Structure 1
Amino acid sequence: MIKFNQIEKTYAKELGRRAKQALAGVSFALAPGETLGLVGANGAGKSTCIKLLLDFIRADRGEISLLGSTPKDPAVRRRIGYLPETANFPANLNVLDMLRFSGRTCGLSREQIAAGAEKWLSRLSLWPDRKRPLRDYSKGMQQRANFALALLHEPELLILDEPMSGLDPIGRADMLGLIGELKAKGRSILFCSHILEDVDRLADRVLVLHRGRKLFEGMPAELAAQRGGRDFTAGYLDLVQSEGEQ
């Protein structure tokens, strides 16, 4: 599904800011039906990986394989569901407006859009609020609306950037349950999260980035065993702190 091969990316120097190497020879893979957790501190390179996959930016060196093609292929985009960390909706529209627009850009028929909207808005507890302006949604509701957009076209690959952002404990538990359901159905999932317990619970494997370098790729339990920690969280913290960041 995804393969990074020795990817390097440096952001150019800007006024008042030095050039920054975001990724330094990073390689990793996501197999079909697998869930990969992408973890690291702020500035580790996680967002850069996602931007490269979505063709928002391009690598300086290395190769990226995505769904048998490359991120540059427009047809690949229709096979991906993307959940950004922060929602950015036009304030005067409602979630049905957004779903209709998103569905048409993915080539869905009106009937498919209507069926998908009812399915996912109901699952995400937004169906009763489907006609409310998005400006009236709470942050958690906006996050769930974004997830409905990501799922509408039944994508083969899900890219989730901080999927629990803005959710209260009940909403977080429901989101964890939904991701677990999607995983059980064989969806391929790449997700970024600062909540290490969620990564440990959901991910088949994890990729640990630190200052643009890959420190670890493997099962969460393997990292705990390597570092002599009681669990993945302890193993991760020991690994990163050994690199000089407290």
Structure 2
Amino acid sequence: MNMDNQNIITLDNVRKTFRDFWLRPTVAAVDGLTISVRKGEVFGLLGPNGSGKSTTIKMILGLLSPSAGEVKLFGLSPRSIEARRRLGYLPELSYLHPFLTASETLRYYAGLCGLSRKEAASRTKELLEMVGLSDVASRSVGGFSKGMARRVALAASLIGRPELLILDEPTSGLDPISTKEVKTLVKALAAGGMTVLMTSHLLADAQDVCDRVTIVNHGKAVAEGEVSRLETSLEEFFLAKVGDVKDFRLAPFLGVSEKIR
């Protein structure tokens, strides 16, 4: 297989139905979703609240099992140790211990990843330099700004040198300077060959960093394609696909379940 064209994440006609106390189906949070994320790209999973993004991420992480269809990471089950070893994850809310320093936080996660003390110290130093926090390595993260804490959490997700990084709303709640810093880091990671899957409701940020996106609504993919092919802003395109707007300028962007008309 040509590694340049390898799909790192594959969802094949995936469906997730939640049931009530009597095991009766109540809602299909994800309904027939098919997605492929290629090696070395930044892929955006976009959609309004309640569209199925979070459920999809949980299935990719192996935290939920699909009701139907198949989810694969590196051709493996998301619950396999090998797949999880090659994965890094930044949740939307990062729960960092406020009394640990930035350096202690990363060394703690390094220990969870099985690194020796020497490896943990080296990796911690490397990552703090990468995220621009070397000067505050000995400060408690409880005193950090939200942007600084977000960079610590991003560094923690990279401790194990993952091949795939999943970012859930990585710039949510950040000021413009912190947002730019996080986007710059994501671009640098992708340039280094890492595959990145990110969710975001900040469409301008997604347009800045993503190579391709899939837009989901009511658990279904309503459009997917390359951001570079858009003849309008991603925000306008998004509103056209999840709202009632029709715009022929969007035609070059390939629709999945709906043709622009």
After TM superposition, the score normalised by the length of structure 2 is 0.84
Query: Shift of the alpha carbon at 1:109?
Result: 2.2
Answer yes or no: is the 8 Å Cα contact 1:221–1:231 preserved in 2: no
* Percent sequence identity over aligned pairs: 35
Which of 150, 157, 160 aligns to 1:150? It is 157
Cα distance in 1, alignment partners of residues 187 and 97 from structure 2: 30
Quote the residue 2:217 is aligned against.
210
Partner of 1:63: 70
Quick check: 1:240 aligned with 2:242?
Answer: yes
Query: Which residue in the other structure is 2:108 paired with?
Result: 101
Which residues of 2 match residues 149-168 of structure 1 at below 5 A? Answer: 149-168=156-175
The answer as to 2:118 corresponding to 1:116 is no
Count of residue correspondences: 236
Runs of 4+ aligned residues of structure 1 deviating over 6 Å after TM superposition are: none
Larger RCO: 1 or 2 (CA < 8 Å, sep 6+): 1
Unpaired segments ≥5 residues, structure 1: none
How far apart, in 1, do the equivalents of 2:27 and 2:141 lie?
A: 36
Q: Is the 8 A contact 1:13 1:20 kept in 2?
A: no
**TM-score of the superposed pair, with normalisation by structure 1:** 0.89
Structure 1 residues 1-246: aligned runs within 5 Å = 1-13=8-20, 19-222=26-229, 224=230, 230-242=232-244
RMSD over aligned Cα atoms: 1.9
Q: Is the 8 A contact 1:82 1:159 kept in 2?
A: yes
Q: CA deviation at 1:2?
A: 0.4
Letter in 1 for 2:115: L
Structure 2 Cα separation of the partners of residues 19 and 101 of structure 1: 41
Report deviation, 1:132.
2.5
- Unaligned runs of 5+ residues in structure 2 are 1-7, 246-261
